[in-house]
A and B are shown apart, each in its own frame.
Chain A
């Protein structure tokens, strides 16, 4: 990175953080600290909800998904609009009517304290474990490609977010996220424009899309009923609905973004903004990845995109093997380029038979380069069983560093870090709020009436979770496929938590004891499904289904247990809709 990149990067990141901390430095009421400013409008809420979900991994891994597997991942978000409508119509009015700080506080009002604690603990467990990943994921990639020290990258980005989140709480989180999303949108549009300009003359978007499509990268909708296929229309609609419903309706890091604000209307419109924007936005990011794939069809492409990892082995004792693989890939890549050019020419002429033959040859040539890429990964594992073999996360950042002009590189690295800070801030804010409201105030009921002390405790818990996340990121070793690791972790817990909330909202006759034990058994069942999937292949299903199964198991077990338990006490007064 050049000095101008550093000026853009540090200027935007520190500027936004300092602005957020300064504007919210006088936050001293618990309501503002935990829920944000009472005058927040729908635009800020909408961007805050969007920024919470869009972590740095979104902008590193998702273009990599588009590059490697095409844009089919977009189906993962198909359940989101309907889920947000349900949250708007059912969840949000009840949260606001009861004036709760956390979603789990509602469980205490609806059921009992043990169910509230169960919900809070499941959230803290899942979100606390993910906390380290969201800070580690961008740090490992940025430090690898930019040559930064990993520990310093983690500490610097982690400390920056801790400072303004501790200072201004939820108000600072929403305020900074609005500006961070501005940087993100600006950066992604810049990358798209530069990418189109870097494509070969005469190809244009249309030609690039045809190449990507012919290579199988633009299959956005798959109606297959095969349950082993990870992303289909059906798994997206059903699994995605349950995942989104639990994430947006019951995960405190999201609930906290929309329960504050000027009115119920502002929260609802903020969520509807997300229902409209999210799928096109994810499609756009995946399309970037597919277009980067096309770009590399006309350029010398590395056999393995994590160049640092590759070079480490290429310069080692097995260097000859690695150089041979590289040469083989380069030769096949040149041959593939010729096949693509031939296909494009025949397509232009309109000779259907010749075009069909050329297309088959082009796809076969792509298969041959893919086979060498697999061979390269196998060689890495043979040389070092602990070698990182997933390189798709490095594709987009590699493109940025090698193709974008100076200044734009700084802006795009700022996009990654802005996304990391935005999602991290929501996470810390939610972890702190849940720990303060659902645990500390529960075990210290007398202290709950001292507002100043509550704010101080919430600030300490924010700092604690921030330091915990930094420490976890510094000392833990994470799964290679980071975005999937987070989604899998979420899916293991989200279904059961959603089940508890669905019982709370829609099944008035079920009491706390039934739902508590129903949830515990259902969670044990999901753990069993997950951990036994390798031993029993029949259990090896897409993780999106855990959301549906966990939720259904929790609801069914609660119903069954209530049949043998004494009748539940009447529901809370504010619980009517």
Chain B
């Protein structure tokens, strides 16, 4: 009979701190970029609607 493994060991908090993405040193910067991109998309959609209305 195989024994089921215990739940996974807790992960290192270093993983949490550094996204490992060029130009982004923290996850906060990644989230800020995503929000900025979303705002840009909404603005572009609003402009698109206005131009072709």
A residues apposed to B, CB below 8 Å? 29-31, 74, 78, 81-82, 84-85, 88-89, 93, 96-100, 209-210, 212-214, 218-221, 233, 263-265, 268-269, 272, 275-276, 279-280, 283, 448-454, 574
26 interchain pairs, CB-CB under 8 A: A29-B5, A31-B8, A81-B34, A81-B37, A81-B38, A84-B34, A88-B27, A89-B31, A97-B11, A212-B52, A214-B52, A218-B48, A218-B52, A220-B48, A220-B49, A221-B42, A221-B49, A263-B15, A264-B11, A264-B15, A265-B15, A268-B19, A268-B30, A450-B2, A452-B2, A453-B1
The A contact surface, by secondary structure, is helix
**Chain B contact residue count (CB 8 A cutoff):** 33
**Inter-chain contacts of A450 with B (CB < 8 A):** 1-4
**Inter-chain contacts of A448 with B (CB < 8 A):** 4
B residues apposed to A, CB below 8 Å? 1-11, 15-16, 18-21, 27, 30-31, 34-35, 37-38, 41-42, 45-46, 48-49, 51-53
Q: Looking across the interface, which residue of chain B has its beta carbon closest to that of A276?
A: B37
A395 → chain B, closest Cβ, in Å? 20
Q: In the bound complex, how far is the Cα of B9 from the Cα of A470, in angstroms?
A: 39
B32 → chain A, closest Cβ, in Å? 9
A249 → chain B, closest Cβ, in Å? 15
Q: In the bound complex, how far is the Cα of B7 from the Cα of A212, in angstroms?
A: 55
Q: In the bound complex, how far is the Cα of B2 from the Cα of A454, in angstroms?
A: 10
**Inter-chain contacts of A269 with B (CB < 8 A):** 19, 21
Q: In the bound complex, how far is the Cα of B49 from the Cα of A268, in angstroms?
A: 32
Q: Looking across the interface, which residue of chain A has its beta carbon closest to that of B34?
A: A275
The answer to whether A451 and B2 have CB atoms under 8 Å apart is: yes
Q: In the bound complex, how far is the Cα of B37 from the Cα of A561, in angstroms?
A: 41
The answer to whether B34 and A276 have CB atoms under 8 Å apart is: yes
Q: In the bound complex, how far is the Cα of B17 from the Cα of A538, in angstroms?
A: 48
Cβ contact of A85, chosen from B8, B9, B18, B31, cutoff 8 A: B31
**Inter-chain contacts of A96 with B (CB < 8 A):** 8, 11
Q: In the bound complex, how far is the Cα of B38 from the Cα of A209, in angstroms?
A: 23
**Inter-chain contacts of B52 with A (CB < 8 A):** 209-210, 212-214, 218
B27 → chain A, closest Cβ, in Å? 7
The answer to whether A449 and B3 have CB atoms under 8 Å apart is: yes
A436 → chain B, closest Cβ, in Å? 12
The answer to whether A81 and B35 have CB atoms under 8 Å apart is: yes
Cβ contact of B41, chosen from A88, A97, A98, A279, cutoff 8 A: A279
The answer to whether B30 and A272 have CB atoms under 8 Å apart is: yes
Cβ contact of A451, chosen from B4, B37, B48, B53, cutoff 8 A: B4
**Inter-chain contacts of A264 with B (CB < 8 A):** 11, 15-16
B34 → chain A, closest Cβ, in Å? 5
**Inter-chain contacts of B34 with A (CB < 8 A):** 81, 84-85, 272, 275-276
B1 → chain A, closest Cβ, in Å? 5
**Inter-chain contacts of B7 with A (CB < 8 A):** 98-100
The answer to whether B27 and A268 have CB atoms under 8 Å apart is: yes
Given A220-B45, A264-B11; 18 other pairs, CB 8 A cutoff:
A29-B5, A74-B45, A84-B34, A98-B7, A99-B10, A100-B7, A214-B52, A214-B53, A218-B48, A218-B53, A219-B49, A219-B53, A221-B45, A221-B49, A272-B31, A448-B4, A451-B3, A454-B4
